[in-house]
């Protein structure tokens, strides 16, 4: 693995949020109603935190080469991902750097996810098994 891995970009639209709500059962109106979201102090509709984490997980899996190569994966949510009501939606950009290679040969990645230039996760990391 290189020190810095090729960033992955994921487009997120309101339609994605509707599909995720159906799959997860999380129909909280902050994920579909601008009126409700702004009424509770958010900038507008936001993506589900677990949906954002899943996008980062997809990037980690692609870098690892297989889902079973991901030994550990953790994040802390630090900022919401606002999703405008447009066809384009927004983008989440996921990047990673190699933090260390363990004595067992596993690779620890330090992960970054941004939306509109703002970091939306903190303390994000993954451990990839030696293949």
What's the CATH number where 65 sits? 3.10.129.10
pTM of the model: 0.93
Q: CA 114, CA 48: separation in Å to the nearest integer?
A: 15
Helix (H, G, I), strand (E, B) or coil at 41: coil
Identify whether 43 is part of a domain. no
Identify whether 41 is part of a domain. no
Report the domain count for the chain: 1
Identify whether 75 is part of a domain. yes
Identify whether 79 is part of a domain. yes
Q: Given this model, what pLDDT does residue 1 score?
A: 46
Q: Given this model, what pLDDT does residue 110 score?
A: 97
Q: How far is CA 3 from CA 95, 110, 125, 127, in A?
A: 11, 10, 14, 14
Low-confidence ranges of the chain (pLDDT < 70): 1-2
Domain that holds residue 71: 4-12+48-128
Q: Given this model, what pLDDT does residue 130 score?
A: 87
Q: CA 80, CA 5: separation in Å to the nearest integer?
A: 24
């Amino acid at each position: 693995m290189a020190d810095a891995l090729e960033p992955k970009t994921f487009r997120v639209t309101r339609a994605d949020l509707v599909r995720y709500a159906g799959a997860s059962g999380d129909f909280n109106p902050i994920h579909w109603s601008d009126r409700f979201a702004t009424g509770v102090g958010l900038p507008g509709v936001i993506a589900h935190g677990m949906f954002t984490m899943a996008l980062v997980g997809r990037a980690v899996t692609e870098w690892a080469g297989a889902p079973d190569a991901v030994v550990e994966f953790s994040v802390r949510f630090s900022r919401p991902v606002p999703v405008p009501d447009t066809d384009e939606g927004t983008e989440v950009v996921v990047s990673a750097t190699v933090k260390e290679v363990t004595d067992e040969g596993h690779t620890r990645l330090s992960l970054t996810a941004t939306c509109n230039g703002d970091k939306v996760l903190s303390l994000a990391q993954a451990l990839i098994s030696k293949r």
